[in-house]
Amino acid sequence: MSMFVLPLLFVARVGHDAGPEVAPVAPPPAPAQGVVEHAVVPVAAPHEETFGTAAIRRETLTADRFRLELQSRTLPDTLKELPAIHLQRTGPGQTSPFLRGFTGFRTLYVVDGFRFNHSAWRDGPNQYVSTIDRFLIDRIDVRYGSGSVRYGSDAIGGTVVMETRAAGPTIEGRDHTALLETRFASADRSALGHAEVGGIAGPGLTYTVGATTSHFGDLEGGRHVGVQEGTGYDTAAADLKLAWKIGARSELVVAHQRDRTFDAPRTHATADGISWHGTTVGSDRVREFDQLRDFTYGRLDWREPGLFERIRLGLGYHSQAEDETRVRSNGNRTESGFDVDTVATYANFELEVPWGLLHFGGDFAHDDVHSFQESYNSSGALTGIAIQGPVGDNATFDATGLFAENSIEVARDTTLTAGARAQLSRADADSVRDPATGNPIDIEEKWWSWAADLRLRRDWNADHGDWIALSRAIRVPNLSDLSRFDIALSGEIETPTPGLDPEQFTTLELGGLHRFDRLETRAAVYYTLIRDMIVRFPTGNVVSGANEIQKANVGDGSAWGLDLGATWRIDAAWSIGGDLSYVAGKVDTFVAPGVTNDEPLGKLPPLHGSSQIRWDDPESTLWVEGVVTWADRQDHLNPLDELDTQRIPPDGTPGFLVYGLRGGFSPVERLDVALALENVTNRDYRLHGSGVNEPGTNLVASLRFRF
């Protein structure tokens, strides 16, 4: 731990907002014109989802921060330096953020007001957030803790609310504009290119059209690991957005997004994998994924005078598909995958009532799921067509929810917010393989569930605010829980488990944000009581030549954590500070048939944090930032972590301390340049639970030109 004492002394959080929405402190001396202001206080855009943020700890990132300053490789990487967030990489194109110890389908993602999660998401880390083009996103709002009242199932560790860029020109005063942006990196010999045009198409009508292409080569690790073969892949994306201004403060938006990921490898499962601190190497010749995503929606945001303060209506169609190619060591090949077509709609209303601001509404989502699996011998001849793919075939999943929340000023500068949600969920899969007999069966399940929030916020004055929150979050079993028949971890096979119940999470959180002249401090502590958590466990059986894993609602336990942070703005140019996050948790899980024991949560993030020191030239657009990221050793492993020998070393994942330097400036008007030298000491390190090592010394360059 001594290696981490210095980084903990100061932690600079720049480019985001933290804590509850206390009244803003008097701003520090303004930076020079042309410099991005980094201590951003969120201001609601006309279409932004702002409801339910009172007394919730939150962090906000803008596009300027994660595209030009952090120079993020993929969308999940934009979150890499935020507190209480830990990244896991199954492969370079398969990154999964952990929020307060939870990931996968226990963390919810929202894009332009629509849920991004679907019913085929598997337990543990998954790659689906990586299918969102980072150039598409304008703003990321991370809301820690339960979001179940507002958004329903899955919002356990937190909710990542993303807003895409607005339609219209990017240069004020012009009718039509264009933007070109590139990013190059040496460690993976990658090249990313993005182009977009936007403008005014008529009275009240604006448009934006964009396209992105990316090539990632094989990733080079630190000084001893070197090039990690078989880690490269490609992506492509395109988008269109039209917006009609239909009132003084109202708009109608129609948008389409398309993303493609080609041949993203799961390298650790193949012979190209590396042994690192005792991890095993896979035997497959090929294990790679294609991801396809298309999303079309319409959204109305109405804020004209009338009965309601605001009305938000949305209707969307989201198609997400996954195709996996696996070639085993003997040359036999399996093609498998699924597609999920989702129709979703929501209606939200804000109404001023005598006792405060009432927000209520409802939402509905219908998933139509098809899956497949075909087997071929080494000569390419078809040898079998399975009953299902990774999840049940000919399946549907429906979720209908109603919610209400009311914010009341119970005393001067004291706000009480209370809310509740009722949700009906249905799952129906017609073609599921029975692991015992191999015959087809069907699964039909229905659940009623509820969630609630009670939050109290006290603003003592313009500089000091505290909050306490009590919430009950839910996660309803999805089709992956009920019907998954697929490879898991390091070669085990997960089989269907019908009859599961919803998970329940009750969290108490205390936090505060305090400013003392130029010093800002942030703290939050939380405790979560876990009931009926669905945990995977080895059954001792062998199915299709692999050790079987099933699921059960035996996961009673708890989790708790602590987030600390501080920022000291020394003067108009200099700032220094950072964040620290710790989470621990145990739940009951089977360690032998019929025998349970308290075991750590799966792939539990280690104690980790980051620190930065920054200088903004008051006389120009030049800025320079030094950054340190670190993590302690993580050797608190549960039985499934110990089975995951290709990704987790036998003695746990070693800690690391990594240094970086970045900076940027605008040499001419509307041209922005940024450079970064990451992992200056060329250290070999791996994020806990990952299948590949992180880049070694990496030179990154980005340019953006608007005209």
pLDDT at 549: 85
Alpha-carbon Rg for the chain, nearest whole angstrom, is 25
pLDDT at 134: 95
Cα(first)–Cα(last) distance of the chain, in Å?
50
pLDDT at 544: 75
Instruction: Give residue-wise pLDDT tens across range 229-284.
Output: 999 999 999 999 999 999 999 999 999 999 999 999 999 999 999 999 999 999 99
Helices (H), 635-689: 639-643
pLDDT at 108: 96
* Range name among 40-44, 490-494, 595-599 with the lowest pLDDT average: 40-44
Give the closest residue to 89 by CA, choosing from 116, 123, 121, 127: 127
CATH class of 2-201+224-706: mainly beta
Per the listing, tokens 């803003």 go with 24
Q: Distance (Å, rounded) from C-alpha 329 to C-alpha 322?
A: 23
DSSP symbols for 166-177: PSS-SSTT-SEE
| Phi then psi dihedrals of residue 480, to 5 deg | -70, -40
pLDDT band with cut points at 50, 70 and 90 for residue 504: very high
Q: Distance (Å, rounded) from C-alpha 696 to C-alpha 219?
A: 9
Q: Hey, what are 86's tokens?
A: 């830990």
C-alpha separations of 250 from 139, 143, 302, 360 in Å? 20, 26, 5, 19
Q: What integer is the mean pLDDT of 441-449?
A: 96
* Residue at 527: amino acid letter: Y
- Does 477 score more than 80 pLDDT? yes
Q: How crowded is the C-beta side of 677, counted as CA atoms within 13 Å?
A: 7
Mean pLDDT for the chain overall: 90
Per the listing, tokens 């750590």 go with 600
Strand partners, 164: 137
* Residue at 497: amino acid letter: T
pLDDT at 547: 83
pLDDT band with cut points at 50, 70 and 90 for residue 127: very high
C-alpha separations of 216 from 190, 230, 233, 263, 265 in Å? 4, 11, 5, 11, 11
* Residue at 601: amino acid letter: L
- Does 27 score more than 90 pLDDT? no
Instruction: Give residue-wise pLDDT tens across range 190-213.
Output: 999 999 999 999 999 999 999 999
pLDDT at 539: 80
Q: For residues 518 and 570, is the Cβ–Cβ distance under 8 A?
A: yes
Per the listing, tokens 């490269």 go with 232
Helices (H), 547-620: none
Per the listing, tokens 């922005």 go with 672
Q: Which residues contact 590 (CB under 8 A, 6 or more apart)?
A: 535, 537, 538, 552, 554, 596
pLDDT at 657: 98
Q: Distance (Å, rounded) from C-alpha 570 to C-alpha 642?
A: 46
pLDDT band with cut points at 50, 70 and 90 for residue 492: confident
Q: Hey, what are 510's tokens?
A: 């205390």
Q: In this structure, what DSSP letter does residue 125 have?
A: -
Q: Distance (Å, rounded) from C-alpha 632 to C-alpha 623?
A: 30
Give the closest residue to 140 by CA, choosing from 318, 15, 312, 14: 15
Q: Distance (Å, rounded) from C-alpha 251 to C-alpha 241?
A: 12
* Range name among 18-22, 136-140, 306-310, 468-472 with the lowest pLDDT average: 18-22
Q: Which residues contact 474 (CB under 8 A, 6 or more apart)?
A: 148, 152, 153, 423, 449, 450, 451, 502, 503, 504, 505
Q: Distance (Å, rounded) from C-alpha 242 to C-alpha 252?
A: 8
| Phi then psi dihedrals of residue 638, to 5 deg | -95, 175
Q: In this structure, what DSSP letter does residue 3 have?
A: G
Q: Which residues contact 647 (CB under 8 A, 6 or more apart)?
A: 90, 268, 279, 490, 689, 690, 691
- Does 38 score more than 50 pLDDT? no
Q: For residues 416 and 456, is the Cβ–Cβ distance under 8 A?
A: yes
Q: What integer is the mean pLDDT of 52-63?
A: 73
Instruction: Give residue-wise pLDDT tens across range 70-106.
Output: 999 999 999 999 989 999 999 999 999 999 999 999 9
- In the chain, where the domains are located: 2-201+224-706
Strands (DSSP E) contained in 593-697 are 595-600, 608-616, 623-631, 656-668, 671-678
pLDDT at 677: 98
Q: For residues 535 and 477, is the Cβ–Cβ distance under 8 A?
A: no
Q: Hey, what are 117's tokens?
A: 């999660």
Q: Hey, what are 515's tokens?
A: 């400013």
Q: What integer is the mean pLDDT of 404-420?
A: 92
Instruction: Give residue-wise pLDDT tens across range 542-595.
Output: 887 788 888 999 999 999 999 999 999 999 999 999 999 999 999 998 877 778
Q: What integer is the mean pLDDT of 327-352?
A: 96
In percent, the amount of the chain with pLDDT more than 70 equals 92
Q: Hey, what are 438's tokens?
A: 């191999």
Q: For residues 17 and 60, is the Cβ–Cβ distance under 8 A?
A: yes
Q: Distance (Å, rounded) from C-alpha 358 to C-alpha 50?
A: 13
pLDDT at 593: 73
Q: What integer is the mean pLDDT of 393-403?
A: 98
pLDDT at 366: 98
pLDDT at 219: 97
Using DSSP's 3-state secondary structure scheme, residue 9 falls into: helix
- Does 646 score more than 50 pLDDT? yes
pLDDT at 493: 86
- Does 14 score more than 90 pLDDT? no
DSSP symbols for 268-292: GGBTT----TT-----BSEEEEEEE
- Does 18 score more than 80 pLDDT? no
Q: For residues 341 and 321, is the Cβ–Cβ distance under 8 A?
A: no
Q: What integer is the mean pLDDT of 277-295?
A: 96
In percent, the amount of the chain with pLDDT more than 90 equals 82
pLDDT at 13: 34
Give the closest residue to 546 by CA, choosing from 487, 485, 500, 607: 487
Q: For residues 241 and 255, is the Cβ–Cβ distance under 8 A?
A: yes
- Does 8 score more than 50 pLDDT? no
The 3-state secondary structure of 483-530, one letter per residue: HCCEEECCCEEECCCCCCCCEEEEEEEEEEEEEECCEEEEEEEEEEEE
Give the closest residue to 432 by CA, choosing from 366, 503, 499, 376: 499
